[in-house]
Amino acid sequence: MPRNDVRRRLATVLFLDIVGSTALASELGDARWREVLTRFRRIVREELKRYSGREQDTAGDGFFATFAEPARALSCAAAIVVAVQELGVDVRAGVHTGECEEIDGKLGGIAVHIGSRIMALAGPAEVLTTGTVMDLVAGSGARFEDRGIHELKGVEGSRQVFSLRAVETSLPEPLSPDEAAARLAMIGASGRRRPIRLALATAALVVAAAVAVPLLAFGGGSSTPIGLIRVDGHTGHITQIERDSLSRKNWNNLASDGGTLWQYIGQTHQLLARDARSAHINYSFPIRIECACQVAVGFGSIWLLADRAVDHADVATLSRVDAASGRVVKRVELPGTTAGGTVASGNGAVWVLENGGKLFRIDPLKDRITRTYETGAVETNTLVPLAGYEWICECVVNKILRFDPRTGHSKTYSIAAQAFLVGINSSTLWLLDPGNSTLTAVDPRTGQEQPPLGLQGSPIQAVVAFGSMWAAAGDIVDRVDLTTHERSTIAMPKGVWAGGIAADPASGAIWVENSGSAPHFH
């Protein structure tokens, strides 16, 4: 081919594919594998669009895309790693920047081959890059680990390879086999409705702020025409107002993950499953247990922790409620009572923390206790399973306890104020103090605190997502950029009292619930 028919241009290339796709396709069967692929491709294309990437080629479960800026390619790759885990799969990715050859509208050349070979070296939930990319993004805040020098098949010479560890937020660990299986179990063939599991994730961690009971609602009150408000998680602009009469007098009862926005309505004791993009109700069902329950959602079920009478004595019981029918399908009895305890889903299991510091690990597939731990926690009503640890907020005594179920050891950090753990990103704990309206960053390795950041409004529930902390705070939503610490407020429409908040990473949405008025706690 004549030389003038070949055009060369500088580009950052991104290659990615699903880890273990051949075995997975065989295990799932054609229909379910097609559904997984359809959702996977949708997620990848949404992230490419968000980060201005250009899709060059798609084959099976693999993608080849290009970017004008290497920092955008890294952010896009990291976002895809996080988002696709909700399907129950992990991806591997490779990123390189160099001159590419463009022939008949298609890109090729050594730079493209290098990107492909770099991806082939990556493990599950890993983004590998060349030293070229690392040098180009110096100063952007991206963190890397050295993976050594490698010879790349079909490419002359050797390359220094680096693993991306954090960009905007830390990259997650690969899914455990149990966690992957549980998430995949929620995906049926196209056209079949299956409830989508909800688990806490690094990209959007929702934890109780002013109230230590997740998804707990309070009844009574009149209706209001505005129920939910959608805020763009990147611009902070209000983009949608959803009108219904369901949210009035409900606080701190939103949670979102895997494309479903869960909302508990205390007046009618119903749990709503909404589409996290539109807030339209997909289905709902009654919680057919009369109790002041602790509630968690995960593994296709609703988990209710409450006491019930057995032989004239109160016994702690964890009830698994089917997320499609609302029926109790299994009860797990626990020693002790639920007073002062809590339940949470994550790290591949359902966890119950009882008053006195005893922690139970429940296998969500077998409905039985598999391990019991003594954490030594003195306060037990806030538990966050994340990144392999169980984080216990001993907020009353100004401490955070990090329990490692792999070793049975715990580490305690002192905090300056009675605050609530609202998120973890880029190896930083974020603590919200509703009473003093402050947000404090703590280094989990040393326990060292940064000076608190002042907030506005009356924080009730908080979420860490899209590089910021968002707090539902009455007539405003308070936003803090977790990198620059820049603060801003989003004014709510007249008559709206923001009392609940959740984030959907896939659509970039922050959902705010109108509670009508401030809560009155007893």
Look at residue 339 in the predicted model and tell me its pLDDT: 67
User: Where is average pLDDT lowest: 92-96, 134-138, 449-453?
Assistant: 449-453
Look at residue 230 in the predicted model and tell me its pLDDT: 93
Pairing of strands 438-442, 453-454: antiparallel
pLDDT greater than 90 at residue 144? yes
The arrangement of secondary structure in 204-286+415-514, i.e. its CATH architecture, is Beta Barrel (2.40)
User: Where is average pLDDT lowest: 123-137, 200-214, 395-409, 432-446?
Assistant: 200-214
pLDDT tens string 207-233: 322 222 333 333 333 344 688 999 999
Percent of the chain with pLDDT strictly greater than 90: 23
Which range, 200-209, 216-225, 354-363, 425-434, is most confident?
354-363
Look at residue 209 in the predicted model and tell me its pLDDT: 29
Which range, 129-138, 426-435, 475-484, 509-518, is most confident?
129-138
pLDDT greater than 90 at residue 67? yes
Q: Which residues contact 101 (CB under 8 A, 6 or more apart)?
A: 6, 7, 8, 107, 108, 109
User: Where is average pLDDT lowest: 25-29, 348-352, 416-420, 505-509?
Assistant: 416-420
Sheet of 453-454: strand order equals 420-425, 428-433, 438-442, 453-454
* Whole-angstrom distance, CA of residue 516 vs CA of residue 224: 7
User: Where is average pLDDT lowest: 55-64, 223-232, 340-349?
Assistant: 223-232
> What mean pLDDT value characterizes the chain?
78
Q: With cut-offs at 50, 70 and 90, classify the pLDDT of residue 5.
A: low
Pairing of strands 91-103, 126-130: parallel
Q: With cut-offs at 50, 70 and 90, classify the pLDDT of residue 323.
A: low
Look at residue 201 in the predicted model and tell me its pLDDT: 30
pLDDT greater than 60 at residue 293? no
Look at residue 374 in the predicted model and tell me its pLDDT: 92
Q: With cut-offs at 50, 70 and 90, classify the pLDDT of residue 519.
A: low
Average pLDDT of span 169-188: 76
Q: Residue ranges per domain, the chain? A: 3-184, 204-286+415-514
Q: With cut-offs at 50, 70 and 90, classify the pLDDT of residue 170.
A: confident
Q: With cut-offs at 50, 70 and 90, classify the pLDDT of residue 372.
A: very high
Q: What's the CATH code, domain 3-184? A: 3.30.70.1230
Return the structure tokens found at 29.
Answer: 């069967």
* Whole-angstrom distance, CA of residue 131 vs CA of residue 162: 7
Look at residue 190 in the predicted model and tell me its pLDDT: 43
Look at residue 364 in the predicted model and tell me its pLDDT: 85
pLDDT greater than 70 at residue 194? no
Look at residue 232 in the predicted model and tell me its pLDDT: 93
User: Where is average pLDDT lowest: 89-103, 117-131, 162-176, 326-340?
Assistant: 326-340
Which range, 171-180, 189-198, 310-319, 413-422, is most confident?
171-180
Look at residue 262 in the predicted model and tell me its pLDDT: 80
Give the up-direction half-sphere exposure of residue 433: CA atoms within 13 A in the CB hemisphere: 20
DSSP conformational letter for 474 = B
Which range, 202-206, 286-290, 454-458, is most confident?
454-458
Q: With cut-offs at 50, 70 and 90, classify the pLDDT of residue 310.
A: low
Look at residue 1 in the predicted model and tell me its pLDDT: 43
User: Where is average pLDDT lowest: 160-164, 235-239, 342-346?
Assistant: 342-346
Picking from 141, 118, 116, the residue whose alpha carbon sits closest to that of residue 129 is 118
Average pLDDT of span 252-278: 75
Higher pLDDT, 428 or 371: 371
Look at residue 427 in the predicted model and tell me its pLDDT: 64
Look at residue 216 in the predicted model and tell me its pLDDT: 31
pLDDT greater than 50 at residue 197? no
Amino acid in position 322:
D
Average pLDDT of span 138-163: 87
Pairing of strands 428-433, 399-404: unpaired
**SS3 at position 438:** strand
Q: Which long-range contacts (CB under 8 A, 24 or more apart) does 349-352 make?
A: 349/178, 349/385, 350/296, 350/298, 350/299, 350/303, 350/318, 351/383, 351/385, 351/390, 352/305, 352/316, 352/318
User: Where is average pLDDT lowest: 17-31, 182-196, 411-425, 461-475?
Assistant: 182-196
For 13, 47, 137, 157, 491, the CA distances from 10, given in Å and listed in that order, are 10, 22, 15, 21, 43
Look at residue 74 in the predicted model and tell me its pLDDT: 95
Q: With cut-offs at 50, 70 and 90, classify the pLDDT of residue 445.
A: low
